[in-house]
Amino acid sequence: MTGNLLELNMSELVEKDLKYIWHPFNHKGTEIVPIVKAEGAYIFGEDGKKYIDGFSSWWVNMHGHCHPYIAKKIAEQALELEHVAFGGFTHPQAVKLAERLVDVLPQNIDKIFFSDNGSTANEVALKMAIQYWYNQGESRNKFITFTNDYHGDTFGSMSLTARGGFNEPFERFLFDVEFVDTPNKENRTAVLERLETLLKSNDVAAFIFEPIVQGAAGMLMHSPEILSEMIALCQKYNVVTIADEVLTGFYRTGKFFSSDHLEFKPDIICLSKGVTGGFMTMGVTAVAEKIFKAFDSANKKHTFLHGHSYTGNTLACAAANANLDLFEKEETQQNIKRIAKQQADFIAKIKIHPKLRDARNFGTIAAIELNIEGESNYFNTKGNDAYKWFMDKGIVLRPLGNVLIMIPPYCIKEEDLNYIYEQMESFLEL
């Protein structure tokens, strides 16, 4: 008998956690903090300490924690239909969600494919791109992506992630990918020339990219104008384009999707993190009609053979629909604008600080890159000290190496965001 775990104290919870649980991304010595409650922009430890969730719990809690409206809609749905196999069946929540997503995505997007998370949403897109050509009698298996991109931790998505610490043990199993530099004003000509050279080979299945913001690379940001030119080049050579919007979707860059900043639109858009407001797991691969048509055949060999047990889960769809309802509220839109302005104002103020390599923002995303020894990546351990310092101040800012990231939920109060800024300035004065 394990007893009532909810009655365990903090030390007992940590002890049992360390005994039974294998956490992602945690190495030996990583501190574990028991969390027992959450509300809005706050999470609460077992000891009663309140923390401001400054990174939306890995960027998923768009409207904050335990939003009563989303919780209510999930509960209502759970008493009607909690799940049904999505092979040969459908249900109102899935149909409603698909229609609503098509309505707000770029106009070229017509079809929605459901999966479980961001990695699988991208994995689905890769398989679609390869089979798109296969179904037309062409063998195109090469992919192009940006240097420093991150697309997930399944084998396909790992192959399209920058080679290094994230995938080093598995590198011999990954397929070859062509990497191009992330575009900026200085390298524009070189990037476009290299891309066109690769496209001329006629063996490229797709170009996949994180549009405007590269998340795991430390919120590196690039030019939407040049990215649009790259998409236009792909269209010229009839190559599929895939936007990995797992991070950037749902107003993180100021518009509904990062792709809304682009003149030329991708053929496939992958979504996950923000789609259910942090309540349920879901991945979405949204595709243009031209992609779907290559599979729309009575020939069973042209079928897209991919699906999971929980694909199109009813409760996840209910959460996603409730999440979209909240985005339609004027209060939400005003909060997004206010947060984006606060972030921009703070970055402008702090940017020249001598202890920073860089400070950057786009929409509601802000990144502070510490000027400390070592490379700017996830494996720079100096950021661990910053994490602990902010936790002591009641702030959760999980660093990517030496890059401190602020991606708050849209319900965060002005004063709480200002408190984070004040503590950031204090930290830099240490």
Q: How far apart are CA 56 and CA 407, in angstroms?
A: 6
Q: How far apart are CA 388 and CA 390, in angstroms?
A: 6
Entry field: residues in the chain: 430
Question: Maximum distance among all alpha carbons in the chain?
Answer: 67
Q: Where are the alpha helices (DSSP H) in 178-301?
A: 188-199, 224-236, 289-293
Confidence of residue 376 (pLDDT cuts 50, 70, 90): low
For 314-365, write each residue's pLDDT tens digit. 999 999 999 999 999 999 999 999 999 999 999 999 999 999 999 999 999 9
Task: Give the per-residue pLDDT at 420.
Answer: 98
Which segments of 64-198 are extended strands (E)? 109-115, 142-146, 178-180
Q: Could you tell me the domains of the chain? A: 5-66+330-428 (3.90.1150.10), 71-327 (3.40.640.10)
Of 18-22, 35-39, 91-95, 379-383, the least confident: 379-383
**DSSP notation for 69-89:** HHHHHHHHHHTT-S---SSS-
- Angle of helix 92-104 relative to helix 314-327, nearest 10 degrees, comes to 40
Contacts 24+ apart (CB under 8 A), 103-108: 104/256, 104/257, 104/324, 105/256, 105/257, 105/259, 105/269, 105/286, 106/257, 106/259, 106/260, 106/265, 106/266, 106/269, 107/265, 108/265, 108/267, 108/288, 108/289
Mean pLDDT (the chain) is 93
For 115-138, write each residue's pLDDT tens digit. 999 999 999 999 999 999 999 999
Find out whether 244 and 56 touch, Cβ atoms under 8 Å: no
Token digits for 335?
């909060």
For 155-214, write each residue's pLDDT tens digit. 999 999 888 877 889 999 999 899 999 999 999 999 999 999 999 998 999 999 999 999
Q: How many alpha carbons fall within 13 Å on the CB side of residue 337?
A: 6
Find out whether 376 and 214 touch, Cβ atoms under 8 Å: no
**DSSP notation for 39-59:** EBTEEEETTS-EEEETTHHHH
Phi–psi pair at 403, nearest 5 degrees: -110, 120
Q: How far apart are CA 51 and CA 43, in angstroms?
A: 5
Question: How far is CA 145 from each of CA 162, 169, 178, rounded to the nearest angstrom?
Answer: 9, 21, 6
Task: Give the per-residue pLDDT at 401.
Answer: 86
Whether the model clears a pTM of 0.85, i.e. scores above it, the answer is yes
The candidate with the shortest Cα–Cα distance to 315, out of 63, 88, 75, 60, is: 75
Q: How far apart are CA 315 and CA 114, in angstroms?
A: 13
Q: How far apart are CA 332 and CA 338, in angstroms?
A: 10
Token digits for 112?
């929605």
Question: How far is CA 35 from each of CA 28, 47, 286, 350, 381, rounded to the nearest angstrom?
Answer: 20, 9, 35, 32, 24
Q: In sequence order, which residues have a C-beta less than 8 Å from that of residue 41 and are 6 or more positions away? A: 52, 53, 64, 65, 408, 409, 411, 412, 413, 416
Question: How far is CA 1 from each of CA 8, 19, 20, 22, rounded to the nearest angstrom?
Answer: 14, 16, 15, 21
Q: How far apart are CA 284 and CA 116, in angstroms?
A: 8
- The mean per-residue pLDDT over the stretch 292-306 comes to 93
Q: How far apart are CA 263 and CA 229, in angstroms?
A: 8
Looking only at the bridges linking them, the beta strands covering 213-214 and 220-221 are antiparallel
Token digits for 348?
């402008």
